[in-house]
Protein backbone atom coordinates (compact mmCIF):
# COMPACT_ATOMS: atom_id res chain seq x y z
CA UNK A 1 0.00 0.00 0.00
CA UNK A 2 1.32 3.44 -0.91
CA UNK A 3 1.46 6.03 1.84
CA UNK A 4 -0.67 9.13 1.18
CA UNK A 5 2.42 11.35 1.01
CA UNK A 6 3.68 9.43 -2.05
CA UNK A 7 0.53 9.92 -4.12
CA UNK A 8 1.42 11.14 -7.60
CA UNK A 9 5.12 10.37 -7.31
CA UNK A 10 7.14 8.22 -9.69
CA UNK A 11 7.83 4.60 -8.78
CA UNK A 12 11.47 5.51 -7.98
CA UNK A 13 10.37 8.23 -5.55
CA UNK A 14 7.83 5.89 -3.93
CA UNK A 15 10.56 3.23 -3.59
CA UNK A 16 12.88 5.70 -1.85
CA UNK A 17 10.07 6.69 0.54
CA UNK A 18 9.49 3.00 1.24
CA UNK A 19 13.22 2.37 1.86
CA UNK A 20 13.38 5.29 4.26
CA UNK A 21 10.23 4.26 6.13
CA UNK A 22 11.53 0.72 6.36
CA UNK A 23 14.87 1.95 7.76
CA UNK A 24 13.11 3.91 10.53
CA UNK A 25 10.62 1.18 11.38
CA UNK A 26 12.96 -1.81 11.25
CA UNK A 27 16.05 -0.51 13.04
CA UNK A 28 15.65 -0.05 16.79
CA UNK A 29 16.79 3.29 18.15
CA UNK A 30 16.44 5.38 15.00
CA UNK A 31 14.58 8.59 15.86
CA UNK A 32 14.68 10.39 12.52
CA UNK A 33 16.26 10.19 9.09
CA UNK A 34 16.95 12.76 6.38
CA UNK A 35 18.35 12.56 2.86
CA UNK A 36 20.03 15.81 1.88
CA UNK A 37 21.22 16.82 -1.60
CA UNK A 38 24.83 17.80 -2.27
CA UNK A 39 23.74 21.46 -2.16
CA UNK A 40 22.20 21.03 1.31
CA UNK A 41 18.52 20.79 0.42
CA UNK A 42 16.26 18.28 2.15
CA UNK A 43 15.08 15.60 -0.29
CA UNK A 44 13.44 13.03 1.93
CA UNK A 45 12.69 12.69 5.63
CA UNK A 46 11.20 10.22 8.06
CA UNK A 47 7.65 10.27 9.44
CA UNK A 48 7.11 13.38 11.54
CA UNK A 49 4.51 11.67 13.76
CA UNK A 50 7.12 9.16 14.89
CA UNK A 51 9.51 11.99 15.80
CA UNK A 52 6.81 13.67 17.88
CA UNK A 53 6.04 10.43 19.73
CA UNK A 54 9.73 9.91 20.52
CA UNK A 55 10.10 13.48 21.81
CA UNK A 56 6.98 13.24 23.98
CA UNK A 57 8.25 9.99 25.52
CA UNK A 58 11.31 11.78 26.91
CA UNK A 59 11.04 13.01 30.47
CA UNK A 60 13.69 15.71 30.52
CA UNK A 61 13.83 18.83 28.36
CA UNK A 62 16.30 18.85 25.46
CA UNK A 63 18.01 21.53 23.46
CA UNK A 64 19.10 21.33 19.84
CA UNK A 65 17.35 19.62 16.93
CA UNK A 66 13.91 18.45 18.00
CA UNK A 67 13.24 15.94 15.26
CA UNK A 68 12.41 18.56 12.68
CA UNK A 69 13.41 17.37 9.23
CA UNK A 70 14.80 20.84 8.45
CA UNK A 71 16.92 20.84 11.63
CA UNK A 72 18.33 17.40 10.91
CA UNK A 73 19.01 18.34 7.27
CA UNK A 74 20.89 21.46 8.37
CA UNK A 75 23.06 19.52 10.82
CA UNK A 76 23.73 16.71 8.31
CA UNK A 77 24.64 19.19 5.58
CA UNK A 78 26.98 21.09 7.91
CA UNK A 79 28.74 17.97 9.15
CA UNK A 80 29.00 16.69 5.59
CA UNK A 81 30.60 19.94 4.44
CA UNK A 82 33.00 20.02 7.39
CA UNK A 83 34.17 16.45 6.86
CA UNK A 84 34.63 16.96 3.10
CA UNK A 85 36.81 19.98 3.90
CA UNK A 86 38.82 17.94 6.41
CA UNK A 87 39.23 15.14 3.89
CA UNK A 88 40.58 17.55 1.27
CA UNK A 89 42.91 19.18 3.79
CA UNK A 90 44.28 15.80 4.89
CA UNK A 91 44.26 14.36 1.37
CA UNK A 92 42.75 11.06 2.52
CA UNK A 93 40.15 10.66 -0.22
CA UNK A 94 36.37 10.99 -0.11
CA UNK A 95 34.44 10.76 3.16
CA UNK A 96 32.42 7.54 3.46
CA UNK A 97 30.68 8.09 6.79
CA UNK A 98 30.80 10.14 9.97
CA UNK A 99 29.52 9.29 13.42
CA UNK A 100 29.01 11.65 16.33
CA UNK A 101 28.39 9.91 19.66
CA UNK A 102 26.82 12.04 22.39
CA UNK A 103 25.76 11.21 25.94
CA UNK A 104 22.11 10.87 24.98
CA UNK A 105 22.15 10.02 21.31
CA UNK A 106 24.09 9.63 18.10
CA UNK A 107 24.25 11.21 14.69
CA UNK A 108 25.34 9.23 11.66
CA UNK A 109 26.09 10.74 8.24
CA UNK A 110 26.82 8.57 5.22
CA UNK A 111 27.65 9.65 1.66
CA UNK A 112 25.42 8.58 -1.19
CA UNK A 113 27.05 8.09 -4.59
CA UNK A 114 25.80 11.35 -6.13
CA UNK A 115 27.10 13.58 -3.33
CA UNK A 116 23.86 13.47 -1.37
CA UNK A 117 23.97 12.50 2.29
CA UNK A 118 21.96 10.15 4.47
CA UNK A 119 21.66 11.40 8.05
CA UNK A 120 20.32 9.37 10.96
CA UNK A 121 19.54 10.63 14.45
CA UNK A 122 19.71 7.70 16.87
CA UNK A 123 18.81 7.24 20.52
CA UNK A 124 21.43 6.68 23.20
CA UNK A 125 20.70 2.96 23.29
CA UNK A 126 20.85 2.29 19.55
CA UNK A 127 23.35 -0.28 18.35
CA UNK A 128 25.70 1.82 16.25
CA UNK A 129 26.92 -1.09 14.15
CA UNK A 130 23.35 -2.13 13.29
CA UNK A 131 22.44 1.44 12.34
CA UNK A 132 25.57 1.77 10.18
CA UNK A 133 24.87 -1.56 8.47
CA UNK A 134 21.29 -0.59 7.60
CA UNK A 135 22.41 2.83 6.43
CA UNK A 136 24.89 1.16 4.09
CA UNK A 137 22.08 -1.01 2.72
CA UNK A 138 19.95 2.09 2.12
CA UNK A 139 22.82 3.90 0.39
CA UNK A 140 23.50 0.84 -1.79
CA UNK A 141 19.87 0.64 -2.85
CA UNK A 142 19.22 4.37 -3.21
CA UNK A 143 22.49 5.58 -4.68
CA UNK A 144 21.96 4.33 -8.21
CA UNK A 145 18.42 5.71 -8.56
CA UNK A 146 19.02 9.16 -7.07
CA UNK A 147 19.27 10.89 -10.45
CA UNK A 148 19.05 14.66 -10.97
CA UNK A 149 15.46 14.19 -12.17
CA UNK A 150 14.51 12.21 -9.06
CA UNK A 151 16.19 14.76 -6.77
CA UNK A 152 14.16 17.50 -8.47
CA UNK A 153 10.94 15.48 -8.05
CA UNK A 154 11.66 14.88 -4.35
CA UNK A 155 12.40 18.58 -3.73
CA UNK A 156 9.16 19.61 -5.44
CA UNK A 157 7.27 17.00 -3.44
CA UNK A 158 8.59 18.42 -0.14
CA UNK A 159 7.81 21.98 -1.22
CA UNK A 160 4.26 20.96 -2.12
CA UNK A 161 3.86 19.18 1.25
CA UNK A 162 5.05 22.21 3.19
CA UNK A 163 2.78 24.66 1.37
CA UNK A 164 -0.22 22.33 1.39
CA UNK A 165 -0.82 22.83 -2.32
CA UNK A 166 -2.22 19.90 -4.32
CA UNK A 167 0.25 17.88 -6.34
User: For 20-66, how does the pLDDT look when each residue is reduced to its tens digit (9 = 90+)?
Assistant: 999 999 999 999 999 999 888 899 988 544 444 444 444 444 444 44
| Sheet of strand 117-123: strand arrangement | 42-45, 30-36, 117-123, 105-111, 97-102
Q: If we measure between CA atoms, which residue out of 31, 7, 33 comes closest to residue 19? A: 33
| pLDDT at site 119 | 95
| pLDDT at site 164 | 58
Residue 10 φ/ψ, nearest 5 degrees: -65, 165
| pLDDT at site 157 | 83
With a CB cutoff of 8 Å and minimum separation 6, the contacts of 93 are 87
DSSP state of 121: E
Q: Which residues, given as ranges, of the chain have pLDDT below 70?
A: 1-6, 47-67, 161-167
Architecture field, domain 12-163:
2-Layer Sandwich (3.30)
Which helix or strand (DSSP H or E) is residue 115 part of? none
Amino acid sequence: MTAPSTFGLSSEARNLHWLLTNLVEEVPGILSVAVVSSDGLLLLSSDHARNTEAREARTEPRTGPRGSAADLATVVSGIGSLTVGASKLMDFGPVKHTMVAMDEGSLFVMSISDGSLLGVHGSADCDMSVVAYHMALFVGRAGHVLTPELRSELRKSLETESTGSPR
